[in-house]
Amino acid sequence: MSNLKVAWADFKNGLVVENPLLVLMIGLCSALAVSSRLENTIFMGVAATFVLVCSNAIVSLIKKVTPPTIRIPIFIVIIASFVTIVDLSMKGYFPAAYERLGVWIPLIVVNCMILGRAEAFAYGNSIFRSVADGLGIGAGYTMVLMIMGFVRELLGSGKIILFDSTVLSLGSAYIKDPIRILVFFPGAFLVFGFLIGALNIVRQKREQK
Amino acid sequence: MKYYIKLAVNLMIVCAVAAAALSLTYSLTKKAIAEQAKQRQIDANKAVMPEATGFASIKKPKTGNVATIYEAKKDDAKLGYVVLVNARGYGGTIEMVVGVDLAGKVTNISIISQRETPGLGDGIVAPKWNLQFKGKTVDDKLEVNKDIDSLTGATISSKAVTAGVKEALKELQQAGK
């Protein structure tokens, strides 16, 4: 297989086969917390993807000079640095989004999705493949996050607000009395459960074929 | 022994590079971050004192939730005060400003930052809800469900803001303004 094909396979693997949220079920804590609004999920997804890709690239780049005994502290330093870069940049240039995401941006450091990919993939693969893997996992994370954010915000508050303008509304009658629980924490678990259920149905149907 | 020194040197190099990258990012974003914070403060101050042209910080109490008191001026004439309060809400600190005119009446309030529950508690930012504080003085009761309407399903958030307004007024009274 050519390099590009391998990278594409790595990307798809992260997006679907090993989707961090729906299949591996890692990095759930922040995902459940920030998915109450669609706009939040976009920023969170981009931030996590950036950290994933950069940390994967650096970990892969220095894997030959990283002694196995101290690899975890080295990974943590790398990941924490990129998270701080994201944190400072968002604070300076996207203050409104930063305000809403709050503590979840710095907490990307301890998101096991990122350390997991550094350890399980980037430490043993080429830079090219590691970046593809980071992009795939990041895209898979962002995709599921956005679906959850969309469902929770639309059904939970009756409308979708993106960058201070309402892009989708279910009408004033619904907005008055929406399924409020969906924007709360239990709502995150409910939506997440339904998503996993839907995925399992798709899988079963595929296997039957 | 040699092996351990090698490990230490290895980790040290990684940390040094990381520190260099971080200090670079910090110096690049420092200005933007400071400007954002200043802008938010000015916007909030303007929201409660639209006529004022300048704000001068005059006092920083050490206790309580009141962070700063600003004197609002239009050219040289004193218009009143703007009090920055860090109220304790349901989801964390609610940073808010309370505008008070020279007669001791609240002109308006504005929420700078908050982390209340989306859909319920974050209704405290609504200008319509904020306006009910207009005209209140330190002698008013300022109690939720008595002279202040509570937001549906967000009693704690409503109480936090109300308590913040009350504290701001008391602080001004104590400061002899």
Q: What is the token pair recorded at A30?
A: 């922040």
- Return the pLDDT at B47: 83
Bridge pairing between strands B77-88 and B93-101: antiparallel
A103: CB partners within 8 A, 6+ apart: none
Across chain B, what does the average pLDDT equal?
86
Task: For B6, name the nearest residue in chain A, comparing CA atoms only.
Answer: A67
Task: Look at A32-41, B125-134, B139-148, B150-159 and tell me which has the smallest mean pLDDT.
Answer: B139-148
Per-residue confidence band for B22, with pLDDT thresholds at 50, 70 and 90: very high
Taking CB atoms and an 8 Å cutoff, what residues of chain A touch B6?
Answer: 67
Regarding whether A93 and A124 lie in a shared domain, the answer is: yes
| In-domain check, residue B99 | yes
Q: Mark B119-134 as b/e (b = at least 16 C-beta within 10 Å).
A: bbbbbbbeeebbeebe
Taking CB atoms and an 8 Å cutoff, what residues of chain B touch A69?
Answer: 7
Q: Cβ distance A121 to A11 under 8 Å? A: no
| In-domain check, residue B168 | yes
Rounded distance, CA A157 to CA B118, Å? 9
Task: For B8, name the nearest residue in chain A, comparing CA atoms only.
Answer: A70
Per-residue confidence band for B177, with pLDDT thresholds at 50, 70 and 90: low
Rounded distance, CA A49 to CA A60, Å? 16
- Return the pLDDT at A75: 93
Segment A4-16 mean pLDDT: 87
- Could you give phi then psi for residue B50, rounded to 5 degrees? -60, -25
Interchain contact, A78 vs B18, CB within 8 Å: yes
Give A65-114 pLDDT, tens digit per residue. 888 889 999 999 999 999 999 999 998 888 888 878 878 888 888 888 99
B147: CB partners within 8 A, 6+ apart: B136, B140, B141
| A69 touches B at CB < 8 Å | yes
Surface-to-core class of residue A204, CB atoms within 10 Å of its CB (0-12 exposed, 13-18 middle, 19+ buried)? exposed
User: Running DSSP on this structure, what letter comes out for residue B150?
Assistant: P
Q: Which of A102, A88, A94, A98 is nearest to B28 (CA)?
A: A88
Helix boundaries (H) for B49-154: 127-130
Regarding whether A178 and A104 lie in a shared domain, the answer is: no
Rounded distance, CA A113 to CA B159, Å? 39
Segment B120-147 mean pLDDT: 85
Regarding whether A184 and A142 lie in a shared domain, the answer is: no
CA A141, A138, A113: angle at the middle one, nearest 5? Answer: 75
Regarding whether A171 and A134 lie in a shared domain, the answer is: no
Pairs of CB atoms within 8 A across A/B: 66
At which residue do the structure tokens 């954010």 appear? Answer: A149
| A96 touches B at CB < 8 Å | no
Domain limit, last residue, from A97, A115, A147: A147
Across chain A, what does the average pLDDT equal?
88
Q: Cβ distance A140 to A16 under 8 Å? A: yes
Centre a 10 Å sphere on the Cβ of residue A206 and count the other Cβ atoms it contains: 8
Regarding whether A112 and A206 lie in a shared domain, the answer is: no
Check pLDDT > 70 for residue B62: no
ipTM score: 0.75
Domain that holds residue B52: 47-174
Q: Name the domain count of chain B.
A: 1
Q: Which of A136, A195, A148 is nearest to A31 (CA)?
A: A148
Q: Cβ distance B85 to B106 under 8 Å? A: no
Regarding whether A23 and A120 lie in a shared domain, the answer is: yes
> How far is CA A166 from each of CA A143, A161, B148, rounded to the nearest angstrom?
21, 4, 29
| A102 touches B at CB < 8 Å | yes
| In-domain check, residue B40 | no
Domain that holds residue A204: 156-209
Taking CB atoms and an 8 Å cutoff, what residues of chain A touch B40?
Answer: 95
Regarding whether A123 and A58 lie in a shared domain, the answer is: yes
Q: Cβ distance B165 to B148 under 8 Å? A: no
Centre a 10 Å sphere on the Cβ of residue B94 and count the other Cβ atoms it contains: 26
The DSSP H or E segment spanning B42 is: helix B2-48
Q: Which of B133, B2, B10, B120 is nearest to A157 (CA)?
A: B120
Q: Mark A28-58 as b/e (b = at least 16 C-beta within 10 Å).
A: bebbbbbbbbbbbbbbbbbbbbbbbbbbbbb
Regarding whether A173 and A128 lie in a shared domain, the answer is: no
| A72 touches B at CB < 8 Å | no
The residue type found at B8 is: A
Interchain contact, B11 vs A73, CB within 8 Å: yes
Q: Name the domain count of chain A.
A: 2
> How far is CA B47 from each of CA B87, B95, B112, B171, rounded to the nearest angstrom?
18, 14, 10, 21
Helix boundaries (H) for chain A: 3-12, 28-34, 38-61, 71-93, 95-101, 112-120, 127-157, 172-176, 185-208
Rounded distance, CA B89 to CA B157, Å? 5
Regarding whether A160 and A115 lie in a shared domain, the answer is: no
Regarding whether A82 and A10 lie in a shared domain, the answer is: yes
Q: What is the dihedral of CA B12, B17, B22, B23, to 10 degrees?
A: 90
